[in-house]
Amino acid sequence: MKVVIIKYNAGNIRSVYFALKRLGIEAEISDDKKIIMSADKVIFPGVGEASSAMKYLKAKQLDKTIQMLTQPVLGICLGMQLMGKFSEEGNTDGLGIFNFQVRKFSDVPKIPHMGWNNLNKMTGNLYQNISMQKMYVYFVHSYYCEIDVNTTALCNYGFDFAASAQKNNFFATQYHPEKSGKTGEIILKNFLDL
């Protein structure tokens, strides 16, 4: 199986690479359109700032490439946010794969929302073979995705927000499965098994 991690102007790519390696997958990190298009699975991870990341994607024409992908694609954290319609971070237009807007946290105990938090109302392929009672995953973000029809899990941090989403072949998580221990490992494996 050929797994490609999209390289763009964002951090956290290496931690995803090593998480996949622990699962026996030697992923390729690339910003080459042909390599990305030829993958069996594509992962679009990232920690960073939305407008500069989107600028890099557009400069490399990866925005159009991602939108055209037909194989399973997993967006993580900033990757999920950039798959939305619009982000308040840098007033950035997203890829429009999902219809949600990305908003800045306000009136919450602390920004960023960082650390372990539980999920609820999980549905869909990413959550197979997971005990729903102790569903804790790792978050670090200052912006959140609004809940919409494609939301597949919720997290509460002062209020509910979309912790994950799915639309056709596109999957996304606001949390970091690669930093979420055994639970995250199962989520990544569920994605790879699609």
Instruction: Respond yes or no on whether the N-terminal peptide bond of residue 112 is cis (omega within 30° of 0).
Output: yes
**Residue 88 is a catalytic residue:** no
* Catalytic entry in 77, 89, 141, 155: 77
Q: Structure tokens of 147?
A: 């809940």
**Residue 141 is a catalytic residue:** no
Beta bridge partners of 115: 139
- What is the identity of the amino acid at 44? F
- What is the identity of the amino acid at 182? K
Task: Tell me which residue has tokens 């971070």.
Answer: 89
Q: Structure tokens of 91?
A: 């007033």
* Catalytic entry in 49, 88, 176, 185: 176
* Catalytic entry in 88, 89, 178, 185: 178
**Residue 77 is a catalytic residue:** yes
Q: Catalytic positions, please?
A: 77, 176, 178
